[in-house]
Structure 1
Amino acid sequence: MTNASMASRIRPISVAAGLLVTASASLAQAQAPNVQLYGLVDVGVTRVSGLAQGTVTQLSSGIMEGSRWGLRGTEDLGNGYKAIFTLESRFEADTGGLGNRPASGGQLPDRVPTAQRLGLVGPLAPAGAVVSGVNQAIGDQLGVNLGNNQFDRQAYVGIITPVGAIMAGRMYTPDYEIAAKYDAMETQSALAAGQLAAIPAGFDIRVNNALQYRIRAAGVEASVMYGFGETGNSNSNNRFVGTMANYTTDSFSVGVGYNQRNNAIGQKALTTTSVGGWAKVGPGKLSAVYSRHKDNNPDLYLLAAQGVVSKLGSTPLAGQVPGILAAYRTAFVQKFDLFNIGYRITEGPHTVTVAYTTRNDKTAPDSDARSFGVAYSYALSKRTDLNAVVVRLDNKRNGQAAPGGNGYLGGVTRAAGVDSTSIALGIRHRF
């Protein structure tokens, strides 16, 4: 065989081998996963007045943002498709735990009925003992991640396609995304608007067992979410639906969101709607958000009703049950509006934010409140900053909110109408 004929045979084989190697490399590149470990540690000293213990000074985790660590990853599947996942866990930088309780512990707002206020004394004392037990059970639920779930913040997997993304798992809700985006503090610190909507919870921040579809193109972002209830014997129990739409340019942004969740027995419960926006004004950014909150069938009322009926419903004191339940319903039904406005300026390493929030309560207890203050951050680097926050909460009539942080509840002040001031100094490091 001549060298020419050998070359003619070898060349096709070499070309085919080269194509195979190229194709294999391309496939490997398309399938190469990108997994990132990330998180932040946020801790500092807080001093809060107006609590039952007096003025409390303590080390707190999550002053500006909740301390967390997580894993997130993407895999390029080719042709415009990607697989994604996020697993995110909270932790308490002051204790190393996974959950926390407010400084006020299990104390409930004064509008929650007690044996004394209901007159359940003397011959009615057994009914009063039931009410005290129910209040203890409710108070035991006040806190963040008390079940110590490992990935309490987020846990989802999804596919990004040329026409949007589909995700499944535990995720932030659409309306909360809008409320958080246009809160002047972006939910950070005791100055955030959500501090006036904490007990009972006025937002569904995250939901389990959720499917979400998202699109993003040319400044437009929108999502639709459905949460499977997966509780009891009905698909409607704890069912959740939500949607949001947002439009952003270099100079302004506007958005609207909506959430609706059923309670544990399938009744329409917490419903929230938020509208917000920001615009570049002068050297900084002016933000505002308005949200409406309504819950005629709260889960805390169901918990109270279950305890009262099971203990008293078949006893000689059954006649006290309607009055007790009416008092609990009045305490836990929600109907209020939040309005937050603020201005943020960043100059070099300095960031200053001032904000003002009002809560207009439209229920019988009339738990109005307002907060105002200033937050300052000094960036030591791109990943580390020092923070100082001063916040005043003014509680009107039956308002009783106490300031917390991004990673923990503030709880309640010592009595209805008592005001509270929070001073926080902390450090935040991102990795």
Structure 2
Amino acid sequence: MNKLLITGATTMITLTSAAHAQSSVTLYGLIDAGLTYTSNERTAPGSGHSSWQMTSGAVQDSRWGLRGAEDLGAGMKAVFALESGFDVNNGQYTSGNRIFNRQAWVGVSSREYGALTLGRQTDLMVDFVAPLSLTGTEFGGTHFAHPFDIDNLNDSFQINNAVKYMSPAFYGFRLGALYGFSNQAGGFTNNRAYSFGLSYVSGAWNFAVGYLQLNSSARTPAQLNANGAVTDTTAASLQSALTTSAVPIGVLADKQRTLGAGVNYTFGPAVAGFVYSQSKITRFFQTNLSVNFQNFEGNFRYAFTPAVEFSGAYTYSRAGGNGGGGIPHWNQVSAMADYRLSRRTDVYVQGAWQRVSPSGTSPLGVAWINGVSNPSSTTTQVQASAGLRHRF
């Protein structure tokens, strides 16, 4: 009888272990905190002051999340992700009152056919092109972004109501597609989004191309479809230079079309890369104003040892169109040194210098390093940060 009880208990433990092995939930996160110096922050028209601030996410946004998977058999899995960004200085959400402001999706994946997911997700510029740019990686991040993060390579906003497909790797190729619904009766195109991406990896070479389009009806902020594809307050830099709106400027225009491409080449402990992006925005606020942004980024990183790494980038940007005042030009140089204390914890110092050459009276012609609280009161701005980053 005792033997039978022991055998039964052992069987139950084995079955329970097997069930647990077929499904899993992982808690993960990243905390990035440090001190940042910024020069020439505008405090009033025509005046400015330098600032010292404790900052959260100088390189990567602090976040925590849950990932899960359940084995459905035949190489299929049910998968989900819930991810929330927060400010480590005060513990608040970084995007309105959303609990899971960075990601919230569920779907199915297959080793053979890829993954289909539904919910709040990143676009394909973020998934394919951003990893080849220092702003989209742990080697540069927030302050390395192109002016106003107009191409969203720093993942300043995500897409709501999105259906997304990501293929498996096939002879080095991988592709993806996304569609974000407006969710508005009688307004199918009012605040919708769609995106495509393609990558190819061959030996030391990594190539990628991405496309993102935001559609609206050139609405004013009061008329915006607040339940549509893009409703974040985190990508407010560009529109703050033009307006007091709190949503990406492309949603307040007839159309924003962003195309990007990049390449990385790895040789020994070094990686060199180049990224190009172009964003065309048409008809601000039901007017005929339009603008065309172009960004050219060259980047490089080198691992001196497994614990010590240096990275740097130079970005040239320009904006033209009929938005008034001609064509501003931006030059930005960024650099970062990182030391790993362990596999999960590192310390870093990094900085960026930006200079704008404004043309005429264009409101776009301001020096404003991404992630800094205020634009510069002059044509230049300098930012420097030292911080600690921990992953769990």
Q: TM-score normalised by the shorter chain: which range applies?
A: 0.7 to 0.9
Q: Does 1:373 align with 2:334?
A: yes
Q: Does 1:178 align with 2:128?
A: yes
Give CA-to-partner distance per residue, 1:38-71, whole Å, 9 cap, x none.
0011010000001114101100100110000000
Equivalent residue number for residue 343 of structure 2:
382
Give CA-to-partner distance per residue, 1:85-137, whole Å, 9 cap, x none.
000000101111113xxxxxxxxxxxxxxxxxxxxxxxxxxxxxxxxxxxxxx
Whole-Å separation in 1 of the counterparts to 2:152 and 2:195: 17
Q: Does 1:291 align with 2:291?
A: no
Q: Which amino acid aligns with 2:134?
A: A
The answer to whether the 8 A contact 2:33-2:57 is kept is: yes
Equivalent residue number for residue 335 of structure 1:
292
Equivalent residue number for residue 83 of structure 1:
78
Structure with max Cα Rg: 1
Specify whether residues 249 and 77 from structure 1 end up closer, same or farther in structure 2 by C-alpha distance, changes over 3 A only.
Answer: same
Equivalent residue number for residue 367 of structure 2:
401
Out of 152, 155, 164, the position equivalent to 2:101 is 152
The answer to whether the 8 A contact 1:190-1:403 is kept is: no
Q: Does 1:421 align with 2:374?
A: no
Equivalent residue number for residue 57 of structure 2:
62
Alpha-carbon shift at residue 281 of structure 1 (Å)? 3.5
The answer to whether the 8 A contact 1:173-1:204 is kept is: no
Out of 22, 38, 49, the position equivalent to 2:28 is 38
The answer to whether the 8 A contact 2:24-2:70 is kept is: yes
- Output aligned runs, 1:340-359, within 5 Å: 340-346=297-303, 347-359=305-317
Specify whether residues 250 and 410 from structure 1 end up closer, same or farther in structure 2 by C-alpha distance, changes over 3 A only.
Answer: farther
Give CA-to-partner distance per residue, 1:195-238, whole Å, 9 cap, x none.
x1347979874200000111022432210111101136311111
Specify whether residues 232 and 338 from structure 1 end up closer, same or farther in structure 2 by C-alpha distance, changes over 3 A only.
Answer: farther
Out of 178, 185, 194, the position equivalent to 1:225 is 178
The answer to whether the 8 A contact 2:369-2:383 is kept is: yes
Specify whether residues 429 and 201 from structure 1 end up closer, same or farther in structure 2 by C-alpha distance, changes over 3 A only.
Answer: closer
Give CA-to-partner distance per residue, 1:243-266, whole Å, 9 cap, x none.
101012341100111111101569
Equivalent residue number for residue 213 of structure 1:
165
Give CA-to-partner distance per residue, 1:135-167, whole Å, 9 cap, x none.
xxxxxxxxxx2x221111111001002312100
TM-score calculated relative to the size of structure 2: 0.78
Q: Which amino acid aligns with 2:115?
A: A
Q: Which amino acid aligns with 2:30?
A: L
Q: Which amino acid aligns with 2:332?
A: S
SS in 1 for 2:134: coil
Alpha-carbon shift at residue 193 of structure 1 (Å)? 3.2
Whole-Å separation in 2 of the counterparts to 1:156 and 1:76: 17
Q: Does 1:361 align with 2:319?
A: yes
SS in 1 for 2:191: coil
Equivalent residue number for residue 191 of structure 2:
238
Q: Which amino acid aligns with 1:336?
A: F
Give CA-to-partner distance per residue, 1:265-303, whole Å, 9 cap, x none.
6974111001101001453000111001011034xx36x
The answer to whether the 8 A contact 2:129-2:208 is kept is: no
Specify whether residues 201 and 160 from structure 1 end up closer, same or farther in structure 2 by C-alpha distance, changes over 3 A only.
Answer: closer
Specify whether residues 404 and 95 from structure 1 end up closer, same or farther in structure 2 by C-alpha distance, changes over 3 A only.
Answer: farther
Equivalent residue number for residue 317 of structure 1:
none
Whole-Å separation in 2 of the counterparts to 1:201 and 1:259: 9
Q: Which amino acid aligns with 1:392?
A: W
Give CA-to-partner distance per residue, 1:330-375, whole Å, 9 cap, x none.
4xx3311111111101122101001101112122432321110210
Q: Which amino acid aligns with 1:208?
A: N
Kindly report structure 1 stretches of 4+ aligned residues shifted beyond 3 Å. 24-32, 187-191, 198-205, 264-268
Equivalent residue number for residue 205 of structure 2:
252
Whole-Å separation in 2 of the counterparts to 1:220 and 1:201: 23
Whole-Å separation in 2 of the counterparts to 1:259 and 1:220: 20
SS in 1 for 2:313: strand
Q: Which amino acid aligns with 1:401?
A: A
Query: Percentage identity across aligned positions?
Result: 29
Whole-Å separation in 1 of the counterparts to 2:317 and 2:352: 15
Q: How many pairs are equivalent?
A: 332
Q: Relative contact order (C-alpha < 8 Å, sep 6+): which is higher?
A: 1
Whole-Å separation in 2 of the counterparts to 1:361 and 1:168: 35
Whole-Å separation in 2 of the counterparts to 1:231 and 1:297: 21
- Output aligned runs, 1:238-317, within 5 Å: 238-264=191-217, 268-281=254-267, 283-298=269-284, 301=285
Once the two structures are overlaid, the 10-residue window that deviates more, 199-208 or 289-298, is 199-208
Whole-Å separation in 2 of the counterparts to 1:44 and 1:30: 39
Whole-Å separation in 2 of the counterparts to 1:27 and 1:348: 37
Whole-Å separation in 1 of the counterparts to 2:340 and 2:152: 33
Q: Which amino acid aligns with 2:76?
A: Y
Equivalent residue number for residue 119 of structure 1:
none
Q: Which amino acid aligns with 2:270?
A: G
The answer to whether the 8 A contact 2:295-2:315 is kept is: yes
TM-score calculated relative to the size of structure 1: 0.71
SS in 2 for 1:216: coil
